[in-house]
């Protein structure tokens, strides 16, 4: 339970990335790959390694 409390913001960011990625893939597959890669890189930069 402590792990969830410490990492809830990271999990919410990951859920948002997944949701936006699905929307981009529905719109266009090549754009979906580019946007997903950019968002995952940004997520890794924001979380800086997580726990």
pLDDT in tens, 15-40: 888 888 888 888 888 888 888 888 88
Residue 51 lies in a domain: no
Domain range enclosing 39: 2-46
pLDDT the model gives residue 44: 77
Residue 41 lies in a domain: yes
E strand or H helix at 24, and its extent? helix 2-27
pLDDT at 50 over 60: no
**Beta carbons within 8 Å of 14's beta carbon, 6+ residues apart:** 43
Are the C-beta atoms of residues 21 and 39 closer than 8 Å to each other? yes
pLDDT the model gives residue 5: 75
Residue 25 lies in a domain: yes
For residues 6 and 42, what is the distance between their CA atoms, to the nearest angstrom? 20
């Amino acid at each position: 339970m402590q792990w969830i409390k410490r990492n809830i913001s990271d999990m919410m960011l990951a859920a948002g990335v997944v949701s936006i990625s699905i929307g981009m893939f529905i719109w266009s597959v090549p754009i979906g790959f580019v946007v997903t890669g950019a968002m995952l890189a940004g997520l890794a930069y924001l979380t800086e390694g997580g726990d």
